[in-house]
Amino acid sequence: NDEEGPIETEKDLITSFLSERADRAFTEREIARGVDFSPAFMDRTRNQLGAFADGLIDFAGDVAATTIVVNDIDEALTELVEEGIVTTKQIETENGTSIYYKLA
């Protein structure tokens, strides 16, 4: 299944990001901003746009690809939690409840 590639890559990237900061927990957004997903991101855009994606991604394509990566991060985190590799904790904040992720 071709779809498993990026998710597995992102799971590895997320796991290494969290393991380097094992004493801290992060929101999904912080993980998305903190992890360099560009290898997975570039593979994905190159597949969809062909050779055009080698550094020449238009703004709309960039936004769409970023959205794809965010969806993948969400899926990757869900799988890591299900596998017991990552734990979650709900924290009450001023803006409601935030879910924080931490290496198990």
Q: pTM to 2 decimals? A: 0.68
Q: What is the pLDDT of residue 59?
A: 52
Instruction: Identify the residue with better confidence: 30 or 43.
Output: 30
Residue (of 80, 52, 79, 78) closest to 65 by Cα position:
52
Query: CA 49 → CA 43, 62, 89, distances in Å?
Result: 10, 11, 38
Residue 68: is its pLDDT beyond 80? no
At residue 95, the pLDDT reads 83
| More confident of the two residues 47 and 80 | 80
Give just the sign of the alpha carbon dihedral 61, 66, 71, 77.
positive
